[in-house]
Structure 1
Amino acid sequence: MNDLAYTAKVAHRIGLLGLGNPLRLARAGMHLVKWGPALPSGLNAAAARFPEQTAIIDDAGEITYRDLVAEVNRVTAALKERGLQPGDSIAILSRNHRWMVIALVAIMQLGGRILLLNTMASRSQLTDLAEREGAELMIVDQEFLEVLADVPREKIVLGWADADAPEDLTTLSDLADGQPADGHRKPAKHGQIVIFTSGTTGLPKGARREEPKDLKPLLAFFGSIPYRANSTVVVAAPLFHSWGLLNFSFGLTTAPTYVLRRKFVPERVIEDIDRYRAKVLVVVPLMMQRMVDADPDVIARTDVSSLEITATSGSALAGDLALHFMDTFTDSIYNFYGATETGWVTIASPKDLRTAPGTAGSIPWRTTVKILDSDGREVPQGETGVIHVGNDMPFGGYTDGNTKTFADGLMNTGDLGYFDENELLFVAGRDDDMIISGGENVFPRELEDALIEHEAVRDVVVTGVDDEKWGQRLAAFVVLHDGSEASEPDLVEYARAQVAKFAVPKNVVFLDELPRNPTGKVMKRELPRI
């Protein structure tokens, strides 16, 4: 299919082409011309075409596109009145709800620099990041005030506020009250979003995400993940993470109804899919596992047959999780392999995951992926090397001035992998996760995928630790299902039957929970030392 036919097909499916009120279509087009492919254009265009459609369903109720845009414009005016200028840095520490969306779009309309903070960051991390990035203002949910005790109160505005909100703090709702709901001019400086990396081994790095220059990234994304116009989309993945934000911002083009909840409760997600006949669910793999393990009575009494897309990313799909999920719910998983810095690399469809479990999928439109050796030469099919990628999603570098390394014009992902004979990508693990034990190269993921399939194991991570005899050895940190029992010898013996001798763990440590961040990645620096 040539580029023109591809573009027409995808644009028609997501509602960019088709019949509609000509005046509303013209107004939507004017917003795209004014703002370019950015959050303000997506929201304003959706409101121009479908003003009375419900835009967001959250813990506060429902709000239409017309009312959402009006609130965004009021907050934009309030930020300007407060003296904030294009280029100023404004931090957001928030869960998923309308006020986070309002803050995101308002800051972009201002031309500000958004700092998306992780809700699980520590008090010292948040203080350090706010100072390092020069935050002029912090928009936060009330529940996070304790970890912001070191931040001056005059710099804080509440996004989500409870009934007992402190009287000395103002809210976004208070700021918006009485402000004009008129639209705003395009700012002199383009808005920017800084997403912080997971920080699994140290202080998170700020990764600048540039807004796309045209619609090509959007069309590549929707060509691989078949969103449809005006669908209901349950966004369970956090909006402060690149995966949740990508689906929300790109999804605006399709004028969906978003279901946002402040806390992830697997049974509530399943009930939301049933109640609202949701076609799309946006999650990270850990959420999928929790949904598979949800209350069987809830699974049995709900109907999730409407679910056509379960868009997942953020960490590897452990073991046969994709198959377990699809067997429990619907054949709907589209697994996105990528990173904050790279955008997407490959996307696996339900068919890919049925026929080749564990694959990271195939290469999307206008994306180049090569497997290179340490000298930057492409390796033969089937051989493992470092995954490199190039696409239309611009990476603006880290806020400390550093950037990723490149070879042959492609970005180094830091992951090792290979292509099979069907041109499907398989990821072996992080380049820096590989350990050498007794002279053998060992990747923790092989053992993780094996152990997670043990009937007693609910969660597991494997890492390398120093060993005088072997150089390094594998240690497995395991969480058991409630009521299940397994000993270290049990799991070591199980592993011997599943993996090569050099991949069998020398230690098994049992924990109540693994220290995971909201996107499901294990914070390895917080694991016990052994």
Structure 2
Amino acid sequence: MVMAATHIRRGALAHADRTAVYFGDDTLTFREVNDRANLIAHRLIEAGIAKGTHVALLVNNGLHSLPVDFAAIKSGVVRVPLNARLSLDEHAAMLEGSKATVVVADSTLADRAAELATRIPELRVFRVGTSDPADLLSPSSDPIGEPDVALSPDDPTLMLYTSGTTGKLKAVVHTQASYGAICSNILGNLLNPQPDSVMLHAASLIHASGTFVLPYWIRGGASAILPGFEPTGFVDAISRYRVTETNLVPTMFAMLLNTGVLNGADLSSMRKVIYGASPMPAPVLERSIEAFGPILAQYYGQTESPLVIASLDEFAHADRTLWGACGMPANDVDLKLIDEDGHEVPQGEIGEITLKAPFQMAGYFDADELNAETITADGWLRTRDLARFDDRGYLFLVDRTSDMIISGGYNVYPREVEDALASHPAVAECAVVGAPDDTWVEAVTAFVVRKPGVDVTEADLIAHVRSQIAAHKAPKSVMFIDAIPKSAVGKILRRALREPLWNK
């Protein structure tokens, strides 16, 4: 099984003088990225940061993103990426929960690192890309080779926090082998980058977008990195860097379409547009295919098993009946749907997705009880996602087990109701949860964001849903709000809508 560090070393040797990174007006070759990664790794080792140390990364998308990440992999430390959008309290909780004793921060987040050092006096802080003489990238007069660290496939290399839809933070641990397998999984099921390929990264590299770096790296493709997603800057970058692929979440598509920036944009270099993280409303998908062409492909995965559990390629998108599907299971995944007793369900029935794959996590950090609930004795990972197979073998995601609403004794899956609501021309976004009810136990409750300048009533929307799906699944009430709460990767945070209803 090929380790992540091996992929980095091979890519650097094979494509040394090609451009690996674009960021604004700056570029780095494969050799330059690798040399910087080696320098950072050596500086950490010289400072006594041993293999296995938990090192938090406070690094925004930028020129130093790849060198810092690669340095951590090469030096054998366990990197703990911290989302820059989170609060000081949240960052401190992550440091405590992960037992990280070191923080590496870039210039944009140096102040936050200093705040954390004040909060946690024993924390060691290192900086990268700053004017500090002790900066990890300060020039060296000596040639810097590969760090002399003995790595093995089972060595932890990444601890990535995820809250899923529960709101409780969990640290997912990946090893050198599982992170390397993510690269092979993407190449085998989703993308086929060439030496002239350029992947545009507008989403944070600490999430799904970052998993695309290594597949492009070993094939000689480049990463064009944006500080964040902004519609005009995103479209300008496509033509500027001759972008061939990008990865978006559904909310980004909606922003691109609603701002009109795609009208007349030069998209001629684009070969494929990947989307995932949350369901794509059919109206948004239809308009996106019209804008980009028939080059959209979807993946279904989760932090515990990134990136591709199932995929729906651009050719399958030509069949509109498959637009609600996750796709076909990946070719390196064993997958089955089980009932509450752990038995595999018959074809066509709903069950929980369980899987075995070389890219699945080693487990949650410091969480024996949760690991026992999530990973079966014989190694199957329970995803907590409910799905069914159609008669062609396509996987259709139904919902999270935790999101299912039991109303009047019937199971109601929020996504089905949301799809019906989203088909109404006045609905911009929506989310469905269960509210306490004396009669129904849980009442289907919808939160809706209306499109600007379009009026619609609660009764209109309830009647529309009833015309689409069974009456007992229709909302008992509709609440109009300004925005649907979402996680940092664009997933609907139903708990933020549900909890106030239950805590009255």
Aligned residues: 485
How far off its partner does 1:524 sit?
Answer: 3.3
Distance 1:227 1:495 in 2: 40
Amino acid at match of 1:365: N
Amino acid across the alignment from 1:503: K
Q: Secondary structure at the match of 2:52?
A: coil
| CA–CA separation in structure 2 for the residues paired with 1:202 and 1:214 | 25
Matched residue SS, 2:266:
coil
Who is 1:307 aligned against? Answer: 270
Structure 1 residues 380 and 526: CA distance shift in structure 2, 3 A: closer
What stretches of structure 1 of length at least 5 have no aligned partner? 1-35, 162-166
Match of 2:425 among 421, 437, 455: 455
Q: Are 1:397 and 2:363 matched, yes or no?
A: yes
2 CA distance for matches of 1:376 and 1:191? 29
CA displacement 1:333-391 (0-9 Å, x = unmatched): 22111211123321111222331111110022232111222222222211111111112
Per-residue CA deviation, residues 144-187 of structure 1 (Å, 9 max, x unaligned), is: 566666511563344566xxxxx8xx488564333645222341
Q: Which residue of 1 aligns with 2:145?
A: 183
Asked if the contact 1:74/1:181 (under 8 Å) is kept, the reply is no
> What is the CA deviation profile of residues 41-86 of structure 1, one whole-angstrom value per residue up to 9, with x for unaligned ones?
3333333222221111113622222222222122122212322111
Q: Aligned partners of 1:518 and 1:215: how far apart in 2?
A: 25
Q: Provide the C-alpha distance between the structure 1 equivalents of 2:420 and 2:84, rounded to a whole number of angstroms.
A: 31
Taking a change above 3 Å as real, the CA distance of residues 286 and 37 of structure 1, as seen in their structure-2 partners, is farther
Amino acid at match of 2:500: R
Give, in angstroms, the shift of residue 523 of structure 1.
Answer: 2.8
Tell me which residue corresponds to 1:346.
310
Indicate conservation of the 8 Å contact 1:323/1:354, yes or no: no
Correspondence for 1:327: 290
User: Are the aligned partners of 1:110 and 1:191 in contact in 2 as well (CA < 8 Å)?
Assistant: no
Partner of residue 461 from structure 2, selected from 472, 480, 491: 491
Q: 1:406 to 1:506 in 2, by over 3 A?
A: same
Amino acid at match of 2:345: V
CA displacement at 1:89 relative to structure 2: 1.0
Preserved CA contact (<8 Å) 1:304 1:330:
no
Whichever residue aligns with residue 444 of structure 2, its letter is: L
Q: Helix, strand or coil: the match of 1:377? A: coil
Where does structure 2 lack aligned partners over 5 or more consecutive residues? none
CA gap 1:372/1:142 in 2 versus in 1, 3 angstroms:
same
Spell out the pairing of 1:272-283 with structure 2 (5 A cutoff): 272-283=237-248
1:23 aligned residue: none
Aligned pairs for 1:466-481 (under 5 A) are 466-481=436-451
Aligned twin of 2:299: 336
Contact between 2:55 and 2:78, CA under 8 Å: does it hold in 1? Answer: yes
* Aligned 8 A contact 1:465 1:473 in 2: yes
Which residue of 419, 430, 437 maps to 2:389? 419
Give distance in 2, aligned partners of 1:438 and 1:289: 35
Partners of 1:147 and 1:473 in 2: CA distance: 43
CA distance in 2, matches of 1:179, 1:529: 60
Report deviation, 1:219.
4.0
Deviations 1:498-522 (A, max 9, x none): 2321121122222222221221012
Percentage of pairs with the same residue: 27
Task: Give the structure 2 partner of residue 508 of structure 1.
Answer: 478
| Matched residue, 1:357 | 323
Contact in 2 for aligned 1:123/1:148 (Cα 8 Å) = no
Equivalent residue letter for 1:48:
L
Matches within 5 A, 1:54-203: 54-59=19-24, 61-144=26-109, 150-152=115-117, 155-159=124-128, 170=132, 175-178=137-140, 180-189=142-151, 190=155, 192-203=157-168
> How far apart are the structure 2 equivalents of 1:273 and 1:150?
37
* Match status 1:387 vs 2:353: yes
Task: Quickly say closer, same or farther: Cα 1:100–1:358, change in 2 above 3 A.
Answer: same
Partners of 1:370 and 1:388 within 8 A in 2: yes
Residue in structure 2 matched with residue 442 of structure 1 by the alignment: 412
Compare 172-181 and 109-118 and name the one that shifted more.
172-181
Q: Distance in 1 between matches of 2:447 and 2:188?
A: 39
Instruction: Determine if contact 1:37/1:212 at 8 Å carries over to the other structure.
Output: yes
Cα deviation digits, residues 226-276 of structure 1 (max 9, x gap): 3222211112232111x2222112332212111111111123222222232
Shift of residue 425, structure 1, vs aligned partner: 0.5
Moved more, 341-350 or 425-434: 341-350
Name the CA shift for 1:39/1:283 in 2 (closer, same or farther; >3 Å).
Answer: farther
User: Please, which of 323, 332, 341 is the counterpart of residue 375 of structure 1?
Assistant: 341
Checking the alignment, whether the CA contact within 8 Å between 1:118 and 1:196 is kept in structure 2 is no
Show CA shifts across 1:21-55 (max 9, x none).
xxxxxxxxxxxxxxx73444333333322222111
Contact 2:193–2:216, Cα closer than 8 Å, also in 1? no
- Could you say if the C-alpha distance between residues 52 and 460 of structure 1 is closer, same or farther in structure 2, counting changes exceeding 3 Å? same
CA pair 285-526 structure 1, distance change in 2 beyond 3 A: same
Secondary structure at 1:395 match in 2: coil
Distance in 2 between the 1:59 and 1:333 partners? Answer: 26
Name the CA shift for 1:68/1:40 in 2 (closer, same or farther; >3 Å): same
**Structure 1 segment 14-29 matched on structure 2, within 5 A:** none
